Chains A and B, each alone.
Chain A
Amino acid sequence: MKSRILMIVGALLLLTIYFQPIWNITLEAPQYPIPLGMDIHIDKFYGANDEHDIKNINLMNHYVGMQYIPETIPEFKSFPIIVGVMIGLGVLFGFLGKFKLYLVWFILMSLLGILGMYDFYLWEYDYGHNLDPQAIMQFKNPDGSPMGFQPPLFGTKLILNFTAHSYPRIAAYFLGSGMFLALMAFFVGRNESKKKRMK
Chain B
Amino acid sequence: MKLIFKPFFAIAAVSLLLASCGGPTTKKSGNSGALSGNAAEKVYVAPGEHDSHYAFISGGFSGQLSVYGLPSGRLFRVIPVFSQDPEKGYGYSEETKPMLMTSHGFIPWGDSHHPDISQTNGSVDGRWVFINENNTPRIARISLETFETEEIIEIPNSAGNHSSSYVTENSEYVVAGTRFAVPFPQRDMPINEMKGNFSGALSFLKIDPEHGNMNIDFQIKMPGFNYDKAHPGRNASSDWFFFTTYNTEEAHTLMEVNSSQNDKDYIAAINWKKVSEYVANGGGEMQAANYAHNTWDNDAHQATTVMEKEVLVVNPMDIPGAFYFLPTAKSPHGCDVDPSGEYIVGSGKLAATMTIHSFSKMLKAIEDKAFDGDAYGIPIINFEAVSYGTLDQPGLGPLHTEFDSRGNAYTTFFISSEVVKWNIKDLKIIDRHSVYYSVGHLMIPGGNSRTPDDKYLVAMNKITKDRYLPTGPEVCQSAQLFDISGEKMELLLDFPTIGEPHYAAGIAAEKIKDKSAKLFNLEDNTHPYAAKSEAESKVVRKGNEVHIYMTMIRSHFAPDNIEGVKVGDKVFFHVTNLEQDYDVPHGISMIGANTSELLIMPGRTTTFTWEPKQVGVWPFYCTDFCSALHQEMQGYVRVSPANSNLPITYTLDDEVPGAEEEL
Contact = CB atoms under 8 A, between A and B. Distances in A.
B580 A58 contact: no
Given A55-B581, A59-B553, 12 more contacts: A52-B519, A52-B580, A55-B580, A55-B663, A56-B581, A58-B663, A59-B579, A59-B581, A63-B628, A63-B629, A68-B661, A136-B629
B534 to A, nearest CB: 13
Chain A interface category by residue count: under 10
B581 A52 contact: yes
B630 interface: no
A59 B554 contact: yes
Interface residues of B, number: 11
B156 to A, nearest CB: 45
A68 B660 CA distance: 12
**Best-surrounded residue of A55, A68, A136 (most CB of chain B within 10 A):** A55
A129 to B, nearest CB: 19
B520 to A, nearest CB: 12
Main DSSP-derived SS at the A contact region: helix
A15 B266 CA distance: 75
Interface in B489-531: 519
A136 B629 CA distance: 9
Contacts of B554: 59
B364 to A, nearest CB: 59
Contacts of B628: 63
Given A68-B661, A68-B663, A56 B580 contact: yes
A52 B553 CA distance: 14
Nearest to A59: B554
Interface string B572-587: 0000000111100000
Nearest to B522: A52
Nearest to A68: B661
Contacts of A59: 553-554, 579, 581, 663
Interface in A117-139: 136
8 contacts: A55-B580, A55-B581, A56-B580, A59-B553, A63-B628, A63-B629, A68-B661, A68-B663
**Nearest 4 Cβ contacts at the A-B interface:** A52-B580, A56-B581, A55-B580, A59-B554
A58 B579 CA distance: 11
A45 B661 CA distance: 18
Contacts of B580: 52, 55-56
A102 to B, nearest CB: 47
A130 to B, nearest CB: 14
Contacts of B579: 59
Interface string B611-653: 0000000000000000011000000000000000000000000
Nearest to B661: A68
Contacts of A136: 629
Contacts of A68: 661, 663
Nearest to B518: A50
A105 B602 CA distance: 50
Nearest to B48: A33
Nearest to A34: B582
